[in-house]
Amino acid sequence: MENKKKTVTVKNLTTVFPTSRGLIKAANEISFSMSEGSCLALIGESGAGKSVTALSLLRLVPPPGRITGGEIILDNQDLLKLGSAEMRRVRGDDLALVFQDSLSTFNPVRPIGAHICETINTHRRLSNGEAKEIALGKMADMGLPAERVFKSFPFQLSGGMRQRAALAMALSLHPKLLITDEATTSLDVTLQAQVLHYLKKHLQDCCMSVLFISHDLAAAAAVADRVAVIYAGRIVESGPLKEVFQKPLHPYTEALIGSHPSFCSGTLEPIKGSPPDLANLSAGCSFVSRCSKASGICHQIAPVLQEAPTGHQAACHLLIGKVVDDGEVAVS
């Protein structure tokens, strides 16, 4: 297998929010790494910790939330050790974020081109002509009619075009890591497919990594090569996307797949119950109240992520002793 350079390694990243009911660990010892040209999908229900993870990577956690531990290694430097000025440079230069709502990304009274050129000029010493050339190039990469979109105001574009313009802006500085947070969620299926197509095409042509945050498994499957499933602030399963989606090891991943129309061949089964109260987590597995496979130990001891021979990891007591000789892992 081709040995690609690691772009980002996140180790035990923990972000907390103090509340009147206690400290909430919204991102709890999150670890993953990504290679250049790869796309990792971070999937899970709303409130699972996906967006907090994204904001933590950018060190933009809104107060009173704060990062209390871990490492974010990008290009051999730990972002958590950088000063504010250096971190501002890294954001934009090396890290970029695209949100769900591109309408709020752009000032409604300025043309799209002015936004992209301003972003470029904030980080690079280039002439206006050179900045415009980069902006037009990135818009063309996203399949946009570049000259027209450059002069257009945000409200003159469709949601899909606007989202691709937001991606063009994020990519204009060639970030090492692009984070998209539900970037295609508000689009209809056709527009979503367009955005994902151009994102994937760009990913194949360059050396960046993409952290694709979504609750939509079909969108994740269209663009990612690896997946991490997050539940109650913790990654509960991770590995190659095909492997995880075809042979999920964690009952939560199984339940997510079973509740998604694109993946479930039989009757759709909504995940019963609701996510736990993060201010009041019990000692055991955080999925225990919703898990049909729970046993006594699940109420007492929190499972930790462990490696299976299939090449992926899961945090579930069912894995212990259930890895059979041929490398298959049975959870049922």
Site residues (vs ligand SF4, CB under 6 A): 250-251, 285, 287-288, 291, 293-294, 298, 303, 316-318
Strands 306-307 and 313-314: antiparallel
Give CA–CA dist 255/274, Å, rounded: 12
Instruction: Give the shortest CB-310-to-ligand SF4 separation in angstroms.
Output: 17
The smaller minimum CB distance to ligand SF4, of residues 219 and 229, is found at 229
Q: List, in order, residues 6 or more apart from 253 with CB less than 8 Å away.
A: 229, 236, 237, 244, 314
Helical (H) or strand (E) element with 72: strand 66-74
The smaller minimum CB distance to ligand SF4, of residues 79 and 285, is found at 285
The smaller minimum CB distance to ligand SF4, of residues 158 and 295, is found at 295
Instruction: Give the shortest CB-287-to-ligand SF4 separation in angstroms.
Output: 4
Alpha helices in the chain (DSSP H): 50-57, 84-93, 112-123, 128-141, 146-151, 159-171, 189-205, 217-223, 241-246, 251-258, 296-300
Instruction: Give the shortest CB-183-to-ligand SF4 separation in angstroms.
Output: 29
The smaller minimum CB distance to ligand SF4, of residues 198 and 231, is found at 231
Instruction: Give the shortest CB-300-to-ligand SF4 separation in angstroms.
Output: 10
The amino acid at residue 91 is R
The smaller minimum CB distance to ligand SF4, of residues 161 and 318, is found at 318
The amino acid at residue 235 is I
Instruction: Give the shortest CB-283-to-ligand SF4 separation in angstroms.
Output: 12
- CA 70 from centre of chain: 18
